[in-house]
Chains A and B, each alone.
Chain A
Amino acid sequence: MTEPGEPSLGGTDDGRGSGAGSGGGGGYDATFRVWRGDASGGDLQTFTVPVNEGEVVLDVIHRLQATQAGDLAVRWNCKAGKCGSCSAEVNGRPRLMCLTRMSTFAEDETVTVTPLRTFPVIRDLVTDVSYNYEKAAQIPAFTPRPRDPDGNHRMQQVDVDRPQEFRKCIECFLCQDTCHVIRDHEDNKRAFAGPRFLIRLAELEMHPLDVRDRRDAAQDEFGLGYCNITKCCSEVCPEGIHLTDNGIIPLKERVADRRYDPLTWLGSKIGRRRPS
C-alpha cells in the first residue's frame, strides 16, 4: 500500500502492461481510494495504481491486488458484464467494475471504490447478498397452464416479448443496492423484495403461459407499495432493463385493477375481465 506519488511496490514489474506509465501509450498513475475492512469496521485507504489505456476499474483493482494489496477481497468472474459478480460503488454510484471504463475519469481524479452499501459486508469489496436469494426463494414459481394435446406448450413471440426483457437480468443486484427503500431503511427488508424481484413478479404475471395470480402477493408479501418509482433501479441497470416503466409500473397498474379500481372490479363480476 502506498501513499499517492510514492513508487509502487512489486519490484520491477509493477503490473503495468506494455506502453504503460505516465506520458507513454496513454498510461498514467491513478489515485484510488478503496474501502477495506469487514463487519467490525474499516475505512477508505488510498493507493496509487498504474493505469493503461483501455482499462476498466476492475483491471485496476486486480493490479492493486497483484502488486500492493494481496489480501484485497473482490468478487469477480466473467469480466464481460454478464455474470454480475463485480458489483461495487465507484465514486458513490452502483456500477459493475468490469463495465466502468477508466477513460470516464479525469487522470487527476480520485476514484473511490466501496462495497455495495445496502448489504452486509463480508470483507473489503465483497458483500453478503443472501437477502436477495431469500427473497427469490419466496416468489411463487412459474405455474403454466396444461400442455396442449400433443404435449407441447405453445406461445407467440409477440406475447412473450415483454417477459423476455426481464430475463436479461444478470442478478448483479445493483438495482437492489441503489433502491432507497432498503438502502436507507434496513427495517424495510422484511416487507420489501426490491426491484429485482418486483420485475420477476412482473415477468411471471405477464407470462402468456402462467396462470397464477400474483397481484395480491406483490402488494402484501413483496411490498410493491413501498416503491415510489424514483427510477434509480432503471438508471443503474447494466443490462438496460426498463425496470420501472416496463415492469414495476405495469405491475402497480395490475394491482390497481385488483385492489383500487371499482370499474375493473365490476367488469370482472360481469365476466369481461380476469376475476379479481
Chain B
Amino acid sequence: MTATAPRGTGAVTPGRGDGGPAPRRATIAARTLRTDRWWVQPLVTVVVLVLFIAYSSFRAFQNAYYHAEPYISPFYSPCITTRCEGDSFPEFFTGPAWISPALYILVLPLGIRLTCYYYRKAYYRSFWLSPPACAVAEPHRRYTGETRLPLVGQNVHRYFLYAALVFNVILFYEAVRGFRDETGEWGHMGLGTLVLLVNAVLLFLYSISCHSCRHIVGGRLNDFSEHPLRYRAWTWVSRLNARHMQYAWTSLFAVAFADFYVLLLATDTIQDVRFF
C-alpha cells in the first residue's frame, strides 16, 4: 500500500527554469519541500531595506535639517556646495538651489553597498528571488548571473571601497568636530558626538571588513611567507571579514540613526545631552 503525496499546483519546478522539470530528473512538482519558514529571512530583508531606502531618500531630497552645530548628518557629509548649512567642509561649487547637497555624494556610499558581496546576496535573494532561499526554486525562466551588463559591473566594487575609505576619514573628521559646543569651543562632548563616533567606527569596520579589502591587503598573494606584514594584515582583515554581514547591518542602522538624531536636534525636537 502506498500513499502518493499531492502534487504542487502552479509552482515553479527546478529544472528548465520555465516551469517544467529537466529531462530525467526526479518528477517532483513542488517548488520546494522545505518545511521551515524559509521566507522569513528574505521578507525581513525586504522590509528593512525598503524602510531604509524610503527614509534615506526622503532625507536626501529634503535638503533641510541636516545641520545642528556642531553636528552634521552623515547623509550630507561631506557637504561640498556653498549652499550647505554650516561650514564643516571646503565648499567646492555652487549648485542649483533645488538640488540637495546630499545628492552629489550619496552615489558613492550607495555604490559600495550595491556592489558589496554581502548585500548582493541579500538583495539577489530577497528582491530578485534568485533564489529566495536555498533549495527553493526561483521564478525566472533564464539566468545569466553576473556575466553581462549591467551586473558584470559588480566587479568595480573595489573602486567604491577606495571612495568609501575617503568617506570614512571625513566622517571621523566630522565626529572629532563634535567635540565642540554650539559656539565652536573645543573640549566638549555630547550624545551627538558619541552617535557620530559610533557611526564612523561602524562604517569604517564595514569598509575594511569587505572582501575586496581582504583581497587587496594580501589575498591576491600566493606566497604569504615572503610578505609577513601583508599576511598579518590579511589575517586581521579576514577576522573582520567573518563579521562583514553584521557590520553591514549595524552600520546601516547607525548611519540612519545618526541622521535621525541630527534631524531631531535641527528641528528643536530634543536638546543634545551634553556630557562636558
Question: Chain A: interface secondary structure?
Answer: mixed
Indicate if the CB atoms of B17 and A184 lie closer than 8 Å.
Answer: yes
At the interface, yes or no: B192 with Cβ under 8 Å from chain A?
no
Hey, which chain B residues are within 8 Å of A118, CB to CB? Answer: 14, 25
A85 to B134, CA, bound (A): 21
At the interface, yes or no: A142 with Cβ under 8 Å from chain B?
no
The residue of chain A having its C-beta at the shortest distance from the C-beta of B124 within the complex is A228
Indicate if the CB atoms of B120 and A120 lie closer than 8 Å.
Answer: no
At the interface, yes or no: A44 with Cβ under 8 Å from chain B?
yes
The residue of chain B having its C-beta at the shortest distance from the C-beta of A210 within the complex is B222
The residue of chain A having its C-beta at the shortest distance from the C-beta of B136 within the complex is A92
At the interface, yes or no: B212 with Cβ under 8 Å from chain A?
yes
At the interface, yes or no: B59 with Cβ under 8 Å from chain A?
no
**Shortest beta-carbon distance from A142 to chain B in Å:** 13
**Which residues from 95 to 140 on chain A have a C-beta closer than 8 Å to any C-beta of chain B?**
109, 112, 114-115, 117-121, 127-128
Q: Within the complex, which residue of A41, A45, A94, A235 is in contact with B3, where a contact is CB–CB below 8 Å?
A: A45
Say whether, besides A181-B145, A245-B211, A257 and B220 are in contact (CB < 8 Å).
yes
The residue of chain A having its C-beta at the shortest distance from the C-beta of B32 within the complex is A92
Indicate if the CB atoms of A228 and B146 lie closer than 8 Å.
Answer: yes
Indicate if the CB atoms of B28 and A114 lie closer than 8 Å.
Answer: yes
Q: Within the complex, which residue of B15, B135, B145, B223 is in contact with A89, where a contact is CB–CB below 8 Å?
A: B135
**Shortest beta-carbon distance from A112 to chain B in Å:** 5
Indicate if the CB atoms of B145 and A117 lie closer than 8 Å.
Answer: no
A93, A227, A228, A260 pick with most chain B CB within 10 angstroms: A228
**Which residues from 213 to 267 on chain A have a C-beta closer than 8 Å to any C-beta of chain B?**
223, 225-232, 235-236, 245, 249-250, 252-257, 259-261
Say whether, besides A3-B3, A186-B22, A227 and B146 are in contact (CB < 8 Å).
yes
Hey, which chain A residues are within 8 Å of B16, CB to CB? Answer: 185-187
At the interface, yes or no: B92 with Cβ under 8 Å from chain A?
no
**Shortest beta-carbon distance from B81 to chain A in Å:** 30
Indicate if the CB atoms of A181 and B241 lie closer than 8 Å.
Answer: no
Hey, which chain B residues are within 8 Å of A250, CB to CB? Answer: 211, 214-215, 219
Indicate if the CB atoms of A184 and B14 lie closer than 8 Å.
Answer: yes
Hey, which chain A residues are within 8 Å of B120, CB to CB? Answer: 228-229
At the interface, yes or no: A180 with Cβ under 8 Å from chain B?
yes
| Chain A residues bordering chain B, tally (CB within 8 A) | 70
Indicate if the CB atoms of B158 and A1 lie closer than 8 Å.
Answer: no
The residue of chain B having its C-beta at the shortest distance from the C-beta of A219 within the complex is B147
Indicate if the CB atoms of B28 and A117 lie closer than 8 Å.
Answer: yes
Say whether, besides A43-B4, A92-B33, A184 and B231 are in contact (CB < 8 Å).
no
Hey, which chain B residues are within 8 Å of A158, CB to CB? Answer: 224-225, 231
At the interface, yes or no: A15 with Cβ under 8 Å from chain B?
no
At the interface, yes or no: B27 with Cβ under 8 Å from chain A?
yes
At the interface, yes or no: B273 with Cβ under 8 Å from chain A?
no
The residue of chain A having its C-beta at the shortest distance from the C-beta of B38 within the complex is A92
Question: Chain B: interface secondary structure?
Answer: loop
At the interface, yes or no: A270 with Cβ under 8 Å from chain B?
no
Indicate if the CB atoms of A2 and B137 lie closer than 8 Å.
Answer: no
Indicate if the CB atoms of B24 and A227 lie closer than 8 Å.
Answer: no
- A136-148 interface bits toward B, Cβ cutoff 8 Å, 1 = contact, 0 = none: 0000000000000
**Which residues from 208 to 234 on chain B have a C-beta closer than 8 Å to any C-beta of chain A?**
211-212, 214-215, 219-220, 222-225, 231
29 CB < 8 A contacts A-B: A43-B4, A46-B2, A91-B33, A92-B33, A92-B136, A114-B26, A117-B14, A120-B22, A120-B23, A120-B24, A121-B26, A158-B225, A159-B224, A180-B137, A184-B17, A184-B137, A185-B16, A188-B143, A223-B145, A223-B147, A226-B143, A228-B120, A228-B121, A229-B120, A250-B211, A253-B158, A255-B155, A257-B220, A260-B152
Q: Interface residues, chain B, CB within 8 Å of chain A?
A: 1-5, 12, 14-17, 22-28, 32-36, 117, 120-121, 124-125, 130-131, 134-138, 140, 142-148, 151-152, 155-158, 211-212, 214-215, 219-220, 222-225, 231, 241-242
Given A43-B4, A159-B222; 14 other pairs, CB 8 A cutoff: A91-B33, A92-B34, A92-B136, A112-B5, A112-B33, A117-B135, A185-B17, A207-B222, A226-B144, A229-B117, A229-B121, A230-B131, A253-B212, A257-B220
